Chains A and B, each alone.
Chain A
């Protein structure tokens, strides 16, 4: 059978597909379309919340370190908190920028590339902002206590030592969990991890971008 004969077979599906799918579009016509259109976008809302969170962190860190330039560990803690806030805002801002460029009625190759890029940026930003919490909580705690007039590092230097050790162990545990959860023996969990913030999502998105490049070039 040639491709042209397949065309005839395909045309014969018209009535059946219409019959099987019509009911649903009929329901859609009756549904409240205006509400669907106004529907909130959870991804954008999440990113806006991240920007607000980042702004609060920037204010916390930015208002701290200029007054503590003479105490190196407080200066470093303040700058780290400030930088973390900037990073959180930048990650969310870049993600929203990508979302705004998405036009579902754009040419297929271009739109799919943009979606893959969005996924890559979203996952990478989530990884950086999320995983750095294993360490960021220490300078953050130092800054919060510093604002209250307490030098946490001087009072309890062991907190930083234990905190760093915990952070390293936490990171290793996260890595181990990601590997464990993505085992083929646990398909449900593997999918959930893959869909959330596993590095595998970035690889998958990149692979698809490469596939799109190839499709466009050939």
Chain B
């Protein structure tokens, strides 16, 4: 049986996609994304003692990563560093030229929509985009399943209105 450190590293490797996705949701700039991913991984190691192996590691990781990302986003300094023009952000993430035009446009629209959301709605949006069940979303965020359903419907309406406004 491996050490706690080995177990942590193995679990992190299996679930590192969660770290990338959360960092991608809260940071548009590649350097900030790397910083945030690093912060999440460090905090995960610090909190690993509280992880109950009987429960899903993905839920634990989503909670932790979102908590770190929201705190990160709320710090004034961090916010200032993110004040880059929209075009630059879109270029950074969409990496123009590396994908078909239509997909590129969809990504830009998605990021424009995400940029207009608050920290908590972003967390909900991420879990929705990641196809997590209402039950798991409720567990991660600490709200009821009914509340999750209501909020997702509102996000859908908002997304529709957002796209309509821009076309």
Interface residues of A (CB under 8 A from B): 1-3, 5-14, 16-18, 20-25, 27-29, 33-34, 36-37, 39, 103-112, 115, 187, 191, 194-195, 208, 211-212, 215-216, 218
Contact = CB atoms under 8 A, between A and B. Distances in A.
16 contacts: A1-B106, A5-B106, A6-B159, A14-B21, A17-B33, A18-B20, A21-B20, A21-B24, A33-B8, A105-B47, A107-B63, A107-B142, A108-B120, A110-B142, A112-B71, A191-B77
A14 B147 CA distance: 28
Interface centre among B16, B106, B130, B142, by most chain A C-beta atoms within 10 angstroms, is B142
Task: List the 10 closest A-B pairs by CB distance, nearest first.
Answer: A107-B142, A9-B106, A17-B20, A10-B129, A109-B142, A24-B34, A17-B24, A105-B64, A3-B159, A3-B156
Nearest to B124: A215
Contacts of A22: 16, 20
B133 interface: no
B47 A104 contact: yes
Contact of A28 (B23, B41, B76, B143): B41
A18 B16 contact: yes
A33 B12 CA distance: 13
A215 B143 CA distance: 8
B70 A24 contact: no
Given A2-B156, A17-B33, A103 B47 contact: yes
B63 A21 contact: no
Interface string B81-109: 00000000000010100110001001101
Contacts of A13: 21, 24, 93, 107
Given A9-B106, A39-B46, A108-B123, 13 more contacts: A9-B107, A14-B21, A16-B95, A17-B33, A20-B20, A21-B19, A21-B23, A21-B34, A24-B37, A33-B8, A104-B63, A109-B141, A195-B77
A16 B92 CA distance: 10
B165 interface: no
Contacts of B67: 104-106, 108, 111-112
Given A18-B20, A109-B120, A191-B80, A104 B106 contact: no
A36 B21 CA distance: 24
